A = this chain, B = another copy of it.
């Protein structure tokens, strides 16, 4: 039998990253491909303690259904953390999500009709494109430099797409480039959103993983008209297997997103929400985040130093102040997908994510995303050195 799928399914395809993650499971390959956090940083003892307490002391409630927007206590705790970060909000401005990914799905559902324009950074997070595609949007892109989206280019994009409905950005240590949007541009972005009447989706799962410099105020903190939707996540600061993230937005928007959340999956796990809530009450998550930062900073420094030592001069790389990724740019004409299949995997035994898939429109072949989060120090040096030697031999041949 041949099921007649909905039209939108023509936009829903297996992703290259998914296959790559499967490659990464081969133990002889050093994979810099995945965007996973370092599992050795999970606070297992504390998580075990809070799950035990919650089930033993409050299991009848913690294993039952709860309200679909998320447990009121956790929403309040998230609102308090967000307020400390410069976002004036209360529990009614917070929706607990099945990871920030769910926010991408729900926001697109709420706003996007077929053919509506979504503006993204170029390149942008692949998971966002995957979430948006079932709504059949058109994409328009904005050039990036070391300070994130180029605001002049954004104005040109808006002039060409005056009805654009949504702008999607990862302003802190972007996935895939590692680049951070400057403070001045954050202000400018909100001005443009007010002028051109679009919604900003600020997706910032890496925000608290900053190694150097002061945090830049969230875009949401400049929001004067309730048109910025902020997405945060416990995946990188606690553990992704809990599947907990959140949205912060105006009450009007949270109410709409909450109705879509109820329709999509009723609610997040009551148990996981109760456990994280107790964790926040009992332990010092900021001290835990400080440990994560130190570890990733060391790995980032080690990777960048190894790149500097071993890569040919004509491979450029970004210098992230936080997050999990650096972005490699090879000379024009270099094809990172082909190079990985033909050389990096079989000869250097190294995997990365070829960059083409992160471009919503014209796919550029000469980039790669490299993550330093999951490999040991030794594997980082070994893998990057092997890749550098191979590149040196190939690019200078």
Contacts and interface: CB of A to CB of B under 8 A. Distances in A.
A98 interface: yes
Contacts of A271: 239, 241-242, 272
Contact of A55 (B5, B44, B243): B44
Interface stretch (A8-16, A169-177, A296-304, A364-372): A8-16
Interface residues of A, number: 79
A225 B3 CA distance: 10
A5 B252 CA distance: 11
Contacts of A47: 55, 59, 63
Given A62-B241, A64-B240, A259-B12, A265 B99 contact: yes
Most buried by B among A42, A269, A272: A269
Number of copies of this kind of chain in the complex: 2
A1 B252 CA distance: 10
Given A47-B63, A56-B48, A105-B265, A7 B241 contact: no
7 tightest Cβ-Cβ pairs between the two chains A and B: A241-B270, A63-B239, A63-B241, A39-B60, A98-B265, A1-B225, A44-B59
23 contacts: A3-B111, A3-B199, A4-B165, A6-B109, A9-B110, A13-B259, A14-B259, A18-B262, A39-B61, A42-B64, A44-B56, A47-B55, A48-B59, A52-B52, A63-B240, A64-B241, A97-B265, A98-B266, A109-B134, A241-B271, A243-B270, A265-B265, A269-B269
